[in-house]
Amino acid sequence: MVAYVLGFSIPFLLMALFITKFTWLKKYSGTLMRIGGGIMIVMELFCILINLHLSIHYYIRYSEISRDFNLSGYRSVLIKERFSERS
């Protein structure tokens, strides 16, 4: 927890102490904002894909359990009918 607090607060303290030295930051602030926004969008897409992967995993897991209890019999009958029509 100490490392988190130091890693989060030290950059802000340095910016506060040396704010007059960072004139280049004003010049490139628009570009930095766009880069930061792009990174946020990419990270959000990763989070969505991970959650989608977990959702599919749990769906497959619980659909196998329902098959063991013969709760998804209707669906398996439909699949068998579709395959029998093709052959």
> Each residue of 1-52: pLDDT tens digit?
888 888 989 988 988 888 778 787 788 888 989 999 999 999 999 989 888 8
* Percentage helix, strand, coil for the chain under 3-state DSSP, each rounded to 5: 90, 0, 10
The per-residue pLDDT for range 40-86, each reduced to its tens digit, is 999 999 989 888 887 877 777 766 655 555 555 555 555 555 566 65
Q: Which amino acid is at 43?
A: M
CA-derived radius of gyration, the chain = 27
| pLDDT on residue 80 | 58
Q: What is the DSSP letter of 87?
A: -
- Can you read off the two tokens belonging to residue 41? 């969008």
Among 7, 17, 33, residue whose Cα is nearest residue 25: 33
At 82 the pLDDT is: 58
pTM: 0.47
Compute the C-alpha angle 53/58/62, nearest 5°: 155
